[in-house]
Structures are given as structure tokens and as C-alpha cells.
Structure 1
Amino acid sequence: MCYIIALDLDGTLLSSENKITKYTKEIIQLLIKKNFYFVFASGRHYIDVMKIRDSLKIKTFMITSNGAKIYNLDNELIFSDNLEEDISSTLCRIEYADKEIITQIYQNDKWYINNNKIDNKFCPALSSLQYQYFYPDSLNFNNISKIFFTSKNFQKLYILERKITNLYSNKVHINFSVPGCLEIVSGNTSKGHGLKLISNLLGISLNNFIAFGDGMNDQDMLAIVGKAYIMKNADSRLKNALPHIEIIESNNNDGVARCLNKVFIKNNKNIL
């Protein structure tokens, strides 16, 4: 039987130090040799996902920007869906002046943030890209794959989530990747949609997909696969939304690798 393993990155495959441990690398590379397919499914920009994949020296499918850009094993773009320009224009302005909220944009190969002089430590920790400042009156709003808002004031982000939902309903897909990061992509876009596309491409049922995640942006992906796992460190809302899904060790305790070893390696008497 052929298995496809879909992995969220931050809070799931990556440790809190933004790294993949040696043990996790060994498990993934061993399963690649056994002809397993891997899918990296992340809210990150595709350049960042590509660098993580290349650090493992393997080929993977890549669902990036929460599904707005999807790449095959040969690094070819097989799906792209950007936000509508009028929606992008509104979202880039909606909290631009709020000094407690950072507005961030992925547009083609660029990463933009609003020019607020506030604590911005959240940004560089999650990307190798260098952000630039944007000004709504001079920004071209086409080809924007994702807009996201980060803040230490979670309540403001919850209010913003309701505001955007009321404005655009099913025209956007809106989720928290972590409690302090609210992410918006096209309504036709999600990690789950990406897995369906890859399933059709390979001709392999979603019942043969195994997925791991920790954030609300993983919910639809975890809900449609044959077997899913939620990290111990996951958002409590995700655990509550999917109470039937097994919870495994945290990302800081090699949760993904330990689970894969137990299910696919140890049971076959082939322990690393």
C-alpha cells in the first residue's frame, strides 16, 4: 500500500527553535527510501518551505501559503489562487494604523509589512525572507497570495476575524495558524484542498493519506484524511474541534518522528 504523509511545519515538524532534529531527518529519509510520499503543508511562503525541504535533501509536494501555491515533486507550480484585488486592497488597509497589529503580505516572491514602529520580533523568526514596508496608496494589489495579521493582543485578532468573515464570508478562507497569527487566503484555497488535488494527481485515495498538525489552519486537512494526528502542543480549539483525533507527543519531543517510527518502522521490526 502506498502512503502519503502530510506534515504541517511550524509547531508540528519543526521544533520551537525552528529546526528539524537529526532523529526526525533520519525517520523521514528512511520512509522516503521505502517509497513513501511526503507533503509539506504550511502557511509559510514557498521559498521558506523549499529551503526546509532542500535541507533534508528529499523531494516533497509543497502546499504553501495555506494552499495558495502548490508544487509537485519536481518543484513545478501546479496550483495558484490569489486573493481578489479589491479584497486585498481592503485587508491591507483595515488595520494599517493600529499600532498593536502588524499587517503582512505575501506577493509573488516578496514579503511586506506595514510601517509600524512596534515590536516586530514575530516576523524574522519565521522566515528567511527579508520584509519590506508597504504603503496602501502605492501598492499594486494583484498577485497577493496571503495576507496575515500578527499581534500579542489576541482579542483584537478575534474581533478582526469576525469583521473579515462578515465582510467576505466564503470569498476568503480565514484561520489562525497560532493564536497570534490570523491568516487570510482565497476562499478556494486551503491545505485540505491541496491534499485533494495531490490525491487526484497521484490517483491515491485520501484514505491512504496521514496528516499531522497543530493549528486551526490544519483542521480541514486533518478532517479529510484516512488517519490524522494532533500535536500535544496544538491549539486547544483544534483539539476541541476534532476530539476523535489522536494526540501525540509535542513538536519539541519529536512527536511526528516517534509516531511514524511506531506505525511504519518499529512494527516492521526495522527500528533505527
Structure 2
Amino acid sequence: MVPHLIVSDLDGTLLGADHDLAELTVATLRELAAQGHQVALASGRHHLDMLPFRDRLGIDAHIISSNGAWTLGPQGQRLRSHYLATELAQALIRLPRAAEVRLNLYRDDAWLIDEAAPGLLDLHDATGFEYRVEAVESMLPEGIGKALYIGAPHQLAEIEEAARQMAADQLHITYSMVNSLEIMAGGVNKGSAVQALLDDLQIPATRCLAFGDNLNDLEMLAMAGEAHVMANAHPDLGPQLSAARVIGHHAEAAVARHLRERFGLDV
């Protein structure tokens, strides 16, 4: 058996419409891990929000969180951390924005938000992970892996433009959903994190299977030997990945179904 790295985004990809793992997905990844394949979960979520999914899988999976800001090993050990420069984080905290746009900061051990937004918690029902409200005036700029702005697309476009004018070459700017603008340090993305993990595991990119559905998956899918775009993906993602294969819908456990076919698990 030749080992592969199987890396998947979570929301809109590996998780179902209920933002949880289907039983078929759990069984499939367990079978593949038992055969000696490596598994990694790669998400814009905080790593503390991802650990319950790894625990439910019950396998030695790596975790790439906050779009590559953190990489955790199978036992939860931190392999890599990438933080925004303090002065840039301070500038992002102070960027002008509409009152209804929520500012979120991801630190090593917390998800901070400037005002309560109960509707956001529905996404995290399966893990129980919650934000901590902290006034902007009290937000410290040190130790921030990701800044996340949640708002209407036209409002986020203004923030994106301001961030790019401020320090485009020192930031990685992307979207995980149309209402979610995500900013990390320059060079920090899922693709660079997956490449570093492949180097650790001594597995070539040609033996990497990657699955994603949104713009923050672009770099990861572009570098994988076998790239897969979900049927429910952002319409701008597929056209940028001519070599990627479109598979089924995340609500139908399409990642698990494809993996079972790809590795002959039902033969």
C-alpha cells in the first residue's frame, strides 16, 4: 500500500448540512487510516473547534486550522503557528467598518468577537465551541492568527480594499463564505500548510487528495495531485482549477463516497 495524504475542508465539504460528520464519513476515514493513509482536516475554523471532529473520527488526524495559521499533530501537539505582525493586527482591529460588521479574532486559545452574535453559534452546535465577547478597545494585537470580518458582501469589499491598500504584500486575504472575509499573515493559507505537512510526512503532492468548496481552499486544491471541488462550491472556485474534478454535494457525503470508489473500499 502506497500512503496518500487525504486532506479535506470541513464546512460545505466533509461536513453535512447539519455541520456534522455523517456516519459514512467516519467509517470511511477510519478504514483509510487503518490502511496506512494519512488524514488531515483543513478549515477556517479555530483548532479548538475542530478537535471534536477529530475525536469523533477516532484516528490520528492532523489539523490545519484558521486557514493555515495553526497546524496540530495527531496528538494535538502544535507543529506550526503563524501570527499576524502586531502592528498589522492593531491596524486591522482599528479599520473603519459598518456598525453591523462583526470583528472576530482567533488566538491560540480563544475566539474573540466584538459584539454578541448568537446566530453564528448554529454553525458550532456539533462542537459546542463559543466565542468570547470583548470590546474593540480591549482587544490586544498580539498572538492573533486570523482576523475575520462577518457582514454583507459590499461592506466586506470596502474592508478588503482598505486592508490591501494598507499592506497587501504582508497579508493573505480570502473568503470562506460570501459574508466572511478572512485575513492571515502573508503566505499563510491552506496550501502552504498542506505542503509543509507533506514535507513532514515525506509524501509527494502527487499523492495528495484534497477536497474543498470555497475560495479559502484555492491554494490547497491548486497544489494537490488530486483536487476535488464540491458540487455546491463557490461558483468562482472551479474555473480557477482546470485540473480539479467536481464531485457530489456535501449534504450527500460526497467526499466519503468518492474516497470509497477511489480506494476500492466497497470491492
Range class of TM-score, shorter chain = over 0.9
Runs of 4+ in 1 over 3 A off after TM superposition: none
Q: C-alpha distance in 2, partners of 1:103/1:161?
A: 13
Deviation at 1:57, TM superposition (A): 1.1
Alignment of structure 1 residues 1-272 onto 2, 5 Å: 1-95=2-96, 98-115=98-115, 120-126=118-124, 128-151=128-151, 153-266=152-265, 270-271=266-267
- Deviations along 1:232-252, whole A, 9 cap, x unmatched? 011111122223311110100
Residue-by-residue CA offset, 1:5-50 (whole Å, 9 max, x unaligned): 0110011000121111111111111111111100101111111111
Asked if the contact 1:112/1:131 (under 8 Å) is kept, the reply is: yes
Report the alpha carbon displacement of residue 186 of structure 1 after superposing the two structures with TM: 0.9
Partner-residue secondary structure (3-state), 1:176: strand
- Structure 1 distance, partners of 2:145, 2:131, is 15
Of stretches 210-219 and 185-194 in structure 1, the one that deviates more from structure 2 is 185-194
> Which whole-Å deviations, capped at 9, do the CAs of 1:165-220 have from their partners, x for residues lacking one?
22111211111011111111111311111111111111111111010000111000
User: In structure 2, what residue type is equivalent to 1:24?
Assistant: T
CA distance in 1, matches of 2:235, 2:131: 31
**Which amino acid in the other structure matches residue 92 of structure 1?**
I
Output the TM-score relative to the length of structure 2: 0.94
TM (norm. structure 1) is 0.92
How far apart are residue 120 of structure 1 and its match?
4.3
Specify the SS of the correspondent of 1:199: helix
Count of residue pairs the alignment pairs up = 264
> Would the alpha carbon gap of residues 124 and 182 (structure 1) be closer, same or farther in structure 2, given more than 3 Å must change?
same
The answer as to whether partners of 1:81 and 1:188 remain within 8 angstroms in 2 is no
| More moved, 188-197 vs 156-165 | 156-165
What RMSD over aligned residues (CA atoms) do the two structures have, in Å?
1.6
101 and 123 in structure 1: CA distance in 2 versus 1, 3 angstrom threshold: farther
**Percent sequence identity over matched residues?**
28
Q: How far 1:74 sits from its partner (Å)?
A: 2.4
Q: How far did 1:124 drift?
A: 4.8
SS of aligned partner of 1:51:
helix
- What letter is aligned with 1:250? H
Matched-pair contact (CA < 8 Å) for 1:3–1:210? yes
CA drift of 1:143 comes to: 0.5
Q: Is the 8 A contact 1:4 1:210 kept in 2?
A: yes
**Mapped contact 1:95–1:101 kept (Cα < 8 A):** no
